[in-house]
Amino acid sequence: MRTSYGRYCMFALVTMLMLALSASSSAQVSIGVTVGFPPPDLPVYEQPFCPGEDYIWTPGYWAYDPDFGDYYWVPGTWVLAPQPGFFWTPAYWAWGGSGFIFHEGYWGPVVGFYGGVNYGYGYFGRGYEGGRWQGGHFYYNETVNRVNVTVIHNVYKTTINERNVTRVSYNGGSGGLNDRPTPEEERASHERRIEPVPDQRRQVQEARSDPELRASANRGKPPIAATPKAGALKEQGVVSAREGGKVHGGPKNAPGGGGNAGRANAAHPNELPPVERPAPANSGNAKADQKYQKQEEKLYTHQEQDRQKLEKRQDKEHQQLEKQHGDDARKQQMEQRHQQQTENLEKKQTEQRQKLDEKQPHGGPPKQ
């Protein structure tokens, strides 16, 4: 008896240690790839009806496939929590100094920080307003969830005032959200956490394997934006995006060539489309045309010089790193930095072009 009891205690001790190690490892921030350009804005779509009791809504998000150098949409879906009392903290992207870093979502007793991103349907940037646990069952807030009350009776109504209506899908960097974690959200990141369940992993795998869900193909408007259940991307009840999100970058071989996706992926000035050469103005007003033509020539020269300066500076950094025998990690960081510099230059020059276009003289006789 003592031997059996001792073996039982030893087994229990080992099991507890394994659980503790698992909880400790899952408590670490899950960080994936680093990307030099931000994910597209969030698309607008309608949430599918909740399929049954105790399912929790997990919003869709943009993931990244390094094999194609492209973001792809992981449709939002309803998922059973791994255990009663646990909530979902959505994934998010955040600027890390040299690129955008992916922070994977997780399950836990408290909703943690998810970048301030407004995913909708209860996830409005802070916490979760879509429901609560009570007596071992999940109760749904009808005002932010689509629930068939003839099937699911655990419901309540609480009106929520959204504090953040932007569709920006990333934190930090140029144009990103400026939210920072609260002390409560910081504590949540150190509590016991559970990684995405197998159903969620399957949702990601199926989304990644669907070419139509890549941002370069759907231009930010995924044909499958949400599913009633995980892994049901081809089944009845899937929802398409009603409105697309703005795409900020993508692979050079994106469909449609020369579009926003291809241009934004340029890492160096010589990979950008050529600076637009000024065409002769012909408004019928010789004086105005001559003035505008001089402004065009000046802008063209200035933009060409800016590109040459940036290209020389980047070439110098390449040469310095080669002399220092920099490793792949440093080379990647440098390329991401160069890509961001090039994107900023292109944006600046586009704005300069637009401002000058507004001054272009139109037809009509000169004023006397």
pLDDT of residue 266: 67
% pLDDT > 90, the chain: 48
pLDDT of residue 16: 41
CA dist 228 and 213 (Å) reads 17
| This prediction's pTM | 0.63
- Is the pLDDT at 203 greater than 90, yes or no? yes
Neighbours of 328 (CB within 10 A): 7
Over residues 15-43, the mean pLDDT reads 58
pLDDT of residue 311: 85
Is residue 180 very low, low, confident or very high in pLDDT (cuts 50, 70, 90)?
A: very high
Distances (CA, A) of 87 to 62, 74, 123: 20, 19, 11
Q: Is 323 helix (H, G, I), strand (E, B) or coil?
A: helix
CA dist 27 and 21 (Å) reads 10
Q: Choose the weakest-confidence range: 193-197, 318-322, 362-366.
A: 362-366
Amino acid of residue 105? G
Structure tokens given for 302: 């200035």
Q: Comparing 351 with 101, which gets the higher pLDDT?
A: 101
pLDDT of residue 300: 86
Over residues 11-20, the mean pLDDT reads 40
- Is the pLDDT at 22 greater than 50, yes or no? no
Over residues 240-269, the mean pLDDT reads 63
- Is the pLDDT at 346 greater than 50, yes or no? yes
CA dist 187 and 43 (Å) reads 31
Is residue 164 very low, low, confident or very high in pLDDT (cuts 50, 70, 90)?
A: low
Structure tokens given for 346: 């292109």
Long-range contacts of 135-143 (CB under 8 A, 24+ apart): 136/84, 137/53, 137/54, 137/84, 138/53, 138/54, 138/55, 138/56, 138/81, 138/84, 140/50
Q: Is the dihedral of CA 7, 11, 14, 20 positive or negative?
A: negative
Is residue 163 very low, low, confident or very high in pLDDT (cuts 50, 70, 90)?
A: low
pLDDT of residue 279: 64
Tell me the pLDDT tens digit for each residue of 256-296.
333 333 344 567 777 677 776 666 666 678 888 888 888 88
Q: Choose the weakest-confidence range: 81-90, 164-173, 213-222, 223-232.
A: 164-173
Q: Is 206 helix (H, G, I), strand (E, B) or coil?
A: helix
Over residues 341-362, the mean pLDDT reads 83
Over residues 300-328, the mean pLDDT reads 86
Is residue 205 very low, low, confident or very high in pLDDT (cuts 50, 70, 90)?
A: very high
Distances (CA, A) of 266 to 31, 269, 325, 339: 25, 7, 24, 6
Over residues 202-215, the mean pLDDT reads 95
Backbone angles phi, psi at 33, to 5 degrees: -70, 160
DSSP state of 242: S
Is residue 336 very low, low, confident or very high in pLDDT (cuts 50, 70, 90)?
A: confident
- Is the pLDDT at 314 greater than 90, yes or no? no
**Average pLDDT of every residue of the chain:** 82
